[in-house]
Structure 1
Amino acid sequence: MFKHSQLETVKAWLAQPAHAALPLHARIQRAIRQLILDGALGAGKPLPASRALAGSLGVSRDTVEAAYAQLHAEGFIERRVGSGSFVSEMTEFSPPRRPAPRDRRVRKQAPALSKRGEAMFRSGGVREPLAPRPFAPGVPETRTFPLHLWERLERQVLKEVGTGALLHGDPQGTEPLRRAIADYINLERGARATADRVLVLTSSQQALTLCATMLFDPGDRIFIEDPAYYGARRAFEAAALDCVPVRLDRQGLMAEQIMAEPRGARAVFLTPSHQFPTGATLALDRRLALIEWAARHEGWIIEDDYDSEFHYAGKPTACVQGLDPHERTIYIGTFTKSLFPGLRIGYALLPPALVQPMTVARTLLDGHSAPLAQLTLARFMEGGHFGAHVRTMRSVYAARLEVLVGLVRAHLSGFVEPRVPIGGLQMPCVLTGNLSEHAAVEAARRAGIELLGLSSLHAGGHGKAGFLMGFAAYTPAEMDVAVRKLAQAFRTVVNS
């Protein structure tokens, strides 16, 4: 059973007005999670039986069971049949003191193309297809988006705000949208967010570029997943950073490599909820170890949560930012995947000390995001339409993933093996036959099909041969036609 003080802490979470938007089970789960993170509940300590805790809190046993189930899913507790629930051994760590920030010099750029400018140009940038062909990855379905609803909300905004929506906007973002984003990621991603810490941007790519240029000097080292999202690698390399690849396994980035690295680095870049492109989820003990590393070494954790809305097996784990008490994590999100790419709205949840510098730097890039789109999106979120749309598309995408898996196994079994993901908008496939990755990608392109090669996402391009197949934006009929064309293209190459 809890000590009296621990029980009172949980009751306080239930009573606080700031937590009123959270369901009861989420408040209980987060209260217990905080007791574990603070060390008030040590590793191996037993938790009260669900029936006993429900009686003490005046809630149903199902509510407590739901809280325990989420804690177990996130790795905070272990559930032993016949014995009860216990704090997981992996949660035992000693949070270091928050170090004082280091001063960084701002370096002047040379005339014409600087070294950084040359690096940006050589990278080729990040270009998305204007009219995506199957199976371009990372593209959501836009043809079924509720445009009539969006237009109605936009008209409401124009009626209330009038020509004010046509003027310059707040560089940090409109307050209604920042508040809606903070409420959403607190509820759905377990973040520690307030509206004054949200910076509204045009995209997650802009957020990565801001981080690369504002937090680091040329030559600074940054740990980066290997394989990694190509847009992140190019943003960091264009800023003349030294990207240090860190291998992955089924539990995500191998944090022990970072701990053992003698030279260290200024930051680590992560896609912990759904690693791009492998789909791995970063284990809890590794998340906690990286938080400790960042605090001890005055480093930064750049957390890109690019598509966590679309999780098809269980619930996604809480974000790293919500677990970090030291304010060393920068959380990046986007509406490009969850709504539509043309919206051009992303955001960063920043430590308080970075809000003003990042906002000022943003004014030098593009000034602000369009106020009309921001206010419409805020209303879309406040009215519950965003959550409803995500739930609808999650079901659609899960069904399309199932169709694609069946098509690949039926028609491409001699060439590739699918790696079925638990979430996201694309599926990795590993080549198993005599077809090379380059030949496969080129054959697909000639057939009007877009594939992203896996080896290009690895440092040095030496990863396992294969490709990504996006499925979210394509109907079952479209995928059927495309997979059959792909199979024919592959056979032509192999037989030539």
Structure 2
Amino acid sequence: MSKQPTAAWPYLLQLDHTGKEPLYLQLYHALRQAILSRQLSAGTQLPPTRVLATELAVSRTTVITAFEQLVTEGYLEAHVGAGTFVASTLPEEMLQVHAQQAPPQEGKKPPRLSQRVQQVMHSPLRPPVQALSAKAFQPGLPALDAFPFDVWSRIAARRYHHPPPELLTYGDPTGYRPLRDALAQYLTASRAVRCQPEQVLIVSGAQQAIDLIARVLLNEGDMVWVEDPGYPRAHTILLGAGIRVVSIPLDQEGLNVEAGKRLSERAHLAYVTPSHQYPLGVTMSLARRLALLDWAQRVGAWILEDDYDSEFRYCGHPLASLQGLDTHGRVIYMGSFSKVLFPALRLGYLVLPLELVEPFIAMRALYGHTSPLLEQAIVADFIMEGHFLRHIRRMRTLYAHRQQILIEAIRQELHGVIELEKHEAGMHLIGWLLQGLDDRLVSQLAARQGIDVRALSACSKQEFKSSGLLLGYAGVNEQEIREGIKHLAKVVEAIV
């Protein structure tokens, strides 16, 4: 294990004590960059938190907070009684992350676009570039009962009272510019996404985003990696576009990149949920993230990063995005307001590599042109006036509480039948069914009782040793959780 001289730390980790960014975040970014640029090599031991706090003239809490986040994300390893070290499993040949995207190389071939978008861009007719019900335990449903509709109503009334003419037209197909500005700022600060407003494209939800990506980047018969188990709608949308979907298995580190190479080395795109895998909740390790980026760069593939619920992390801070590690412009970042605000908005967004912006605008202008502008303006105001971040902070506390209520209810009513463990992130848990129960049968019978529990097997092409149920807890209050589990217990009792 190597050690960095103590005197070198203040020079390596320069902090701005008068800056606006919190010191713990400055330290986190400085250490992360030092690791990725190999200034700190694998196995390097960091000073004790008290020593480093003294050397940097910060509180020990600042150092501990930064260390904990880096340990969570896999950059550091903490060994009880021995200290904290730079992770030893990082593939050093990949650790070259720079502050900006690598400049375009001379003679670089243009991106491979689908025949559909090429026809649109060269067509003389090309446009100018200018419910599900809320019940237990629907996955992905936010706490509608805790949404600040009073604040939302005031903003909406202000916007609808005297809307400017530009909000009543077809608008810019890229989306409302102030919303794109707000998103670029938010994603840079909270998710370590590297982007400018020009790279942000507003879409009508994640489904439209996936369809748009298929239309722009894929031809019929192209192969795409998807996680197995994974998000069923993504799988179906790709199949509907004539894409050959290749199911890639998971393990505790996330998508198995080596398995993907064996199954389809020359796939054109990989769809992943690295921060909180849907539905299992696994976080993709740093080594896997770098391996995935290396594969995409080497074969010229794209990566679609679906960051569907990363705001809701109850221990530490949200994990940094995969896109933030991408130095070659191979990652398309996707997010949605359905889970952080409410699904009826039908608003989402893509962060695109610069070379893909023009073709995506061309296809977006043709299909739907733009999402409703007044709603985009309301969301922009909601973000810029500070309500968005306050709402997320409140929901983190509320969802952590509701998760605990769900766990307690399962233990009381279904002990020995469903195994459920606390998780540090997300809006649902997997209830593993014991005693050989069929999750599809349980799901079907529960639906007849007004209980929405999704079968895990419906998300996968492979067979699991244990079947399971997706139990969403975010959108149901304490009473509804307890009553719902009692109804579920009656359903299970009738089968056992």
| TM-score bucket (shorter structure) | 0.7 to 0.9
The answer as to whether partners of 1:42 and 1:92 remain within 8 angstroms in 2 is no
Structure 1 match to 2:306: 304
Structure 1 match to 2:428: 426
Output the CA distance in 2 between the equivalents of 1:426 and 1:62: 31
Output the CA distance in 2 between the equivalents of 1:105 and 1:77: 39
| 1:170 aligned residue (169, 172, 196) | 172
| 1:284 aligned residue (279, 283, 286) | 286
The answer as to whether partners of 1:43 and 1:87 remain within 8 angstroms in 2 is yes
The answer as to whether partners of 1:273 and 1:305 remain within 8 angstroms in 2 is yes
The Cα shift of 1:337 comes to 0.3
Structure 2 match to 1:29: 28
> Could you tell which deviates more after superposition, 239-248 or 459-468?
459-468
The Cα shift of 1:493 comes to 3.9
Q: Which amino acid aligns with 1:68?
A: F
Q: Which amino acid aligns with 1:87?
A: V
Tell me: CA distance 1:417–1:210, structure 2 relative to 1, closer, same or farther (3 Å). Answer: same
Matches within 5 A, 1:129-208: 129=132, 131-158=133-160, 162-208=164-210
| 1:437 aligned residue (436, 439, 443) | 439
> Could you tell which deviates more after superposition, 248-257 or 382-391?
248-257
The DSSP-based 3-state class of the residue aligned with 1:206 is helix
Identity value in percent = 36
Structure 2 match to 1:242: 244
Task: Could you tell me which runs of 5 or more consecutive residues in structure 2 were left unpaired when the two chains were aligned.
Answer: 97-101, 118-130
Q: Determine if the alignment matches structure 1 residue 90 to structure 2 residue 98.
A: no
CA RMSD of aligned residues (A): 2.8
The Cα shift of 1:311 comes to 1.6
The answer as to whether partners of 1:134 and 1:482 remain within 8 angstroms in 2 is yes
The Cα shift of 1:63 comes to 2.7
Tell me: CA distance 1:430–1:58, structure 2 relative to 1, closer, same or farther (3 Å). Answer: closer
Task: Could you tell me which runs of 5 or more consecutive residues in structure 1 were left unpaired when the two chains were aligned.
Answer: 110-127
Q: Which amino acid aligns with 1:282?
A: M
Output the CA distance in 2 between the equivalents of 1:356 and 1:442: 45
Output the CA distance in 2 between the equivalents of 1:320 and 1:336: 21
Output the CA distance in 1 between the equivalents of 2:419 and 2:56: 50
The Cα shift of 1:45 comes to 3.2
Structure 2 match to 1:40: 39
Structure 2 match to 1:220: 222
The Cα shift of 1:154 comes to 2.6
Output the CA distance in 2 between the equivalents of 1:24 and 1:182: 22
The answer as to whether partners of 1:420 and 1:428 remain within 8 angstroms in 2 is no
The answer as to whether partners of 2:116 and 2:215 remain within 8 angstroms in 1 is no
Tell me: CA distance 1:51–1:487, structure 2 relative to 1, closer, same or farther (3 Å). Answer: closer
| 2:231 aligned residue (229, 232, 254) | 229
Tell me: CA distance 1:432–1:179, structure 2 relative to 1, closer, same or farther (3 Å). Answer: same
Q: Which amino acid aligns with 1:299?
A: A
| 2:474 aligned residue (455, 472, 475) | 472
Output the CA distance in 1 between the equivalents of 2:333 and 2:5: 33
> Could you tell which deviates more after superposition, 87-96 or 389-398?
87-96
TM-score (norm 1): 0.86
The DSSP-based 3-state class of the residue aligned with 1:138 is coil
TM-score (norm 2): 0.86
Tell me: CA distance 1:84–1:440, structure 2 relative to 1, closer, same or farther (3 Å). Answer: closer
Aligned residues between the structures: 471
Structure 2 match to 1:373: 375
The answer as to whether partners of 1:455 and 1:463 remain within 8 angstroms in 2 is no
Output the CA distance in 2 between the equivalents of 1:411 and 1:394: 26
The Cα shift of 1:36 comes to 2.0
Q: Deviations over 1:34-60 (max 9, x none)?
A: 232223332223445656655665544
Tell me: CA distance 1:56–1:173, structure 2 relative to 1, closer, same or farther (3 Å). Answer: farther
Tell me: CA distance 1:54–1:427, structure 2 relative to 1, closer, same or farther (3 Å). Answer: closer
The DSSP-based 3-state class of the residue aligned with 1:339 is coil
> Could you tell which deviates more after superposition, 51-60 or 471-480?
51-60
Structure 2 match to 1:104: 112
> Could you tell which deviates more after superposition, 26-35 or 364-373?
26-35
The answer as to whether partners of 2:228 and 2:462 remain within 8 angstroms in 1 is no
The answer as to whether partners of 2:116 and 2:216 remain within 8 angstroms in 1 is no
Output the CA distance in 1 between the equivalents of 2:338 and 2:465: 28
Q: Deviations over 1:80-130 (max 9, x none)?
A: 566654322222422489884565364469xxxxxxxxxxxxxxxxxx41x
Structure 2 match to 1:75: 74
Output the CA distance in 1 between the equivalents of 2:305 and 2:111: 23
The answer as to whether partners of 2:456 and 2:469 remain within 8 angstroms in 1 is yes
The answer as to whether partners of 2:406 and 2:481 remain within 8 angstroms in 1 is yes
The Cα shift of 1:480 comes to 2.0
Tell me: CA distance 1:53–1:477, structure 2 relative to 1, closer, same or farther (3 Å). Answer: closer
> Could you tell which deviates more after superposition, 154-163 or 437-446?
154-163
Tell me: CA distance 1:84–1:136, structure 2 relative to 1, closer, same or farther (3 Å). Answer: closer
Output the CA distance in 2 between the equivalents of 1:103 and 1:193: 19
Tell me: CA distance 1:91–1:22, structure 2 relative to 1, closer, same or farther (3 Å). Answer: farther
Output the CA distance in 2 between the equivalents of 1:301 and 1:44: 30
